[in-house]
Amino acid sequence: MYSAGTVIGTYSVTATAVDDVSASETVPVKIFEGACLIGTWILRSQEFFDQVGAQAGGETQYRSGENRLVIREDGTYTTFRDAWSFAVVTEEGTIVGVIDAENSGTWQSTDVEMTIDEAGGDEATVQLFLEIGGQLQTLQIAGSQVSFASDSFSGQYPYICDANVLATTSSGVTSTFDRADG
């Protein structure tokens, strides 16, 4: 751990080897707005789907997969939804959706707001299934597997970030992420 300061700027920090106190190296450490945001984050999917379901007037259950956000110091980000699936119980049965997507772009932040500018041209694939007897059956309707361009993340979002938790809010839904990279 180091102590470089909290004011935006570049500091020189000297690190000393634990096993040989005579060995040390001085390295630059850059403090900038949004430093807490840098890293890999995993969405708390069930909390997210609870809010989405409440807004839609039903219940949405997280099933499996991952929604991962990677925010880089160079001002770029990528979101990955890897077989991220959810279920919605309807009168006709349980509908299961599976999303695979990768979106990227740039980001900036102040102390309280993050601005996302999605690069565009990224695709998302959504597959829809009907669950019958615990087995997933592909829905036999037009659009049961759809690939489409996705640019839905551009905008400004209030956020709160601490060492291990990031929370952003959009359209009344708070997305809470846990740091995955320590």
Q: What are 138-176's pLDDT values in tens digits?
A: 876 655 555 555 556 788 999 999 889 999 999 899 999
The fraction of the chain above a pLDDT of 90, given in percent, is 48
Q: pLDDT band for 35, please (50, 70, 90 cuts).
A: confident
Q: Which amino acid, one-letter code, is at 72?
A: R
SS3 118: strand
Every domain of the chain and the residues it spans: 1-31, 37-179
> Average per-residue pLDDT in the chain?
83
Pairing type for strands 113-118 and 123-132 reads unpaired
Q: Which of 68, 65, 43 is nearest to 176 (CA)?
A: 43
Rounded distance, CA 145 to CA 142, Å? Answer: 8
Q: Residue 104 has what pLDDT?
A: 92
Burial class (CB in 10 A: 0-12, 13-18, 19+), 33: exposed
Q: Rounded distance, CA 65 to CA 89, Å?
A: 19
Contact 177/162 with Cβ under 8 angstroms? no
Q: What is the maximum alpha-carbon separation in the chain? A: 72
pTM of the model: 0.75
